[in-house]
Amino acid sequence: MISVLAPLPVLLPLLGAACTLLVGRHPGVQRLVSLAVLTAVLAVSVALLLQADADGATSVAVGGWPVPLGIVLVVDRLSALMLVVASTVALGVLVFAVGQGSADGDEEGPVSIFHPTFLVLIAGVSNAFLAGDLFNLYVGFEILLMASYVLLTLGGSAPRVRAGITYVVVSLTSSLIFLAAIALVYAATGTVTMAQLANRLGDLPEGTQVLLQSMLLIAFSIKAAVFPLSAWLPDSYPTAPAPVTAVFAGLLTKVGVYAIIRTQTLLFPGGALDDLLMWAGLATMVMGILGAVAQTDIRRMLSFTLVSHIGYMVFGIALGTAAGLAGAIFYVAHHIAIQTTLFLVAGLVERQGGSTSVDRLGGLAKRSPLLAFLFFVPAMNLAGIPPLSGFIGKLGLLEAGVADGSPLALTLVAGGVVTSLLTLLAVARVWTRAFWRPPTQEPAADTAAAAASDAGGRA
């Protein structure tokens, strides 16, 4: 059964993308196909998770080709859990995009490319989560790159094109480093299958192991936006439409984190770079949240908090303990849901108030109590207010750091506490200025200004 189900999270979105492209001038059909495909992917992912929980890890050789010639998909609790979370979020984002009308074509471009590109993106995410070898993981990254560039530049405005170029240059740099690492791994071991590499890498000289681990960490840290390789993210993500930014923030960086988890735990357990990874996690937390506190635009603030909270995940991975990894995995799942929700709410704020700058907003809680509630709950969750999931995840990571007991781990524990407090400060400032305080202008003036701005943008 699992040999039949395992390829479906990749194949179904690709087939759905082809179908939605063929019916591009019929947006209603596109919507139905996309929703049906992602619902099916979610159902398959749940079935895979139940199967993996009952039977343990299973590898599937696609097409019957043996290792190392064929494509190997691995279904275990981690990959299946990530598939369930990713497909749930993807379906939710698609429903939001359809409801807001941002997934359809317009008069100038009646053929919507959002649906096929979005489905290709989900296929790439699924392929990365299921990859049992480094080259298949690389293929998943490249599928993500192609689809994400198209989504990032939807509309063709100058800021989006500039952001797309930056994103592509950074992603290609990461891909080149990753591809070079794959070539060196194959030259040194004769395989790129991770199960075989787990047995062979330990026989290599220590210097070779450190080189390979360094190259893979750099490649994946760029994808995950780990400091100091994160400068590209706050300038790229906020320019895209709300559904695109939401799925990028929720899923794309987590694919990089997932790759770090896989390689650190399977290929380089107790590697020489664990302390360096812990320092990177600390720097990511602190530098990201300092950037968030300085922002007055909601999307940019959320982009910096996204970078900052990647540091929590890196912290748990670098500890290398069962408690640290459990905390990191829990925090990945939590952060996918919360960060996606906040970016979607930011899109609703822009729709309601005409801007995402807190200097131009005010009184949103009175004008739209539901919108205020939708921002307040996930924002408090992001800050780690008990008893929400953010508090549980951070508490697990901090307890793992205290249990480790090393000075570096305790330093990261202190950094995690400070980061959580500054996150609360950042979201509280947005809440106070955008939702709670009276508006700086009358609503009619706000509407007129927003309409004028929109007309100028169209011109």
Domain range for 65 is 1-130
Residue 154 lies in a domain: no
For residue 315, count other CB atoms closer than 10 A to its CB. Answer: 30
Residue 27 lies in a domain: yes
Count the domains in the chain.
1
Residue 454 lies in a domain: no
What is the average per-residue pLDDT within 77-95?
93
| pLDDT at residue 443 in the model | 44
Residue 19 lies in a domain: yes
Residue 102 lies in a domain: yes
Distance of alpha carbon 26 from alpha carbon 22, whole angstroms: 9
pLDDT tens string 24-63 = 778 788 889 999 999 999 999 999 999 988 888 888 877 6
What is the average per-residue pLDDT within 275-296?
91
Residue 389 lies in a domain: no
Least confident residue range of 13-17, 57-61, 100-104, 143-147: 100-104
Alpha-carbon separation of residue 303 from 225, 248, 253, 423 (angstroms) = 10, 10, 11, 12
| pLDDT at residue 68 in the model | 61
Look at phi and psi of residue 384 and say left if phi exceeds 0, alpha if psi is from -120 to 50, else beta. Answer: left
pLDDT tens string 106-122 = 444 434 788 899 999 99
Peptide bond before residue 407 is cis, with ω within 30 degrees of 0: no
Least confident residue range of 31-40, 84-93, 165-174, 413-422: 165-174
Residue 101 lies in a domain: yes
* Whether pLDDT at 444 is above 80: no
The rounded mean pLDDT for the chain is: 85
What is the average per-residue pLDDT within 123-133?
92
Residue 108 lies in a domain: yes
pLDDT tens string 272-284 = 788 899 999 999 9
